[in-house]
A = this chain, B = another copy of it.
């Protein structure tokens, strides 16, 4: 139930810092022992080795891991790691970095669930920052966990939740807790945006919520819900 990070360069540093902040256990792999010299961590374990080797991935506990991220600067290395990881585990969540635009499709083809292209993402963000500056600042606050007043979170409704079968009007999540439900993804993958008061909550729904940290914690307790992020 831990996370694996392949590559401890600039991007790997950021991924590990985010896991650290969320108090999530992880193993970080890099061939170059030197990159770890200032590593200090409460939740992370170092592994010096070549992540394209199956025995190194096994040593990192890949068969028990929740997810692996491959963030080396070489598309070929990331492709090799993604394919190896997918062959070692069917259910593992795999997220990879792609440098060239052609690599995205290939990484998905060999088993990546999600591919992140730094150039594409940063270019979008820069265009958004001039077109919709308030939206960009707002979403950065909501996703960086830096602002307890504003957090965006996904929450899964258990079958035993008191909210199951109730409409949003009756559940009073916004009225009582100040939490906005911006979307609901049902167990079969159907997405409902901006749900109205007569929307009925079902077991297995994932609610995409926006609210204060304290209010979200209240919702989790009262509603028999799980943060998707929590180790199970």
Q: Which A residues are within 8 Å of any B CB, using their own CB? A: 3, 10-15, 17-19, 22, 24, 66-67, 69, 71, 93, 95, 97, 101, 113-114, 116-136, 138-139, 143-144, 149-150, 152-154, 174-175, 178-180, 182-183, 185, 191, 193-194, 196-197, 206, 208, 210-212, 228-229
Contact = CB atoms under 8 A, between A and B. Distances in A.
B212 A130 contact: no
A15 B127 contact: yes
A124 B197 CA distance: 33
A22 B127 CA distance: 10
Contacts of A18: 123-124, 127-128, 131
Contact of A118 (B19, B119, B128, B174): B119
Contact of A125 (B121, B183, B212): B121
Given A128-B143, A178-B194, A182-B138, A122 B116 contact: yes
A208 B12 CA distance: 32
A67 B132 contact: no
24 contacts: A12-B123, A14-B123, A15-B123, A15-B127, A19-B131, A69-B129, A93-B130, A95-B129, A116-B126, A118-B121, A118-B122, A131-B228, A131-B229, A132-B154, A133-B228, A134-B208, A135-B208, A138-B183, A150-B193, A174-B194, A175-B197, A178-B196, A182-B210, A194-B210
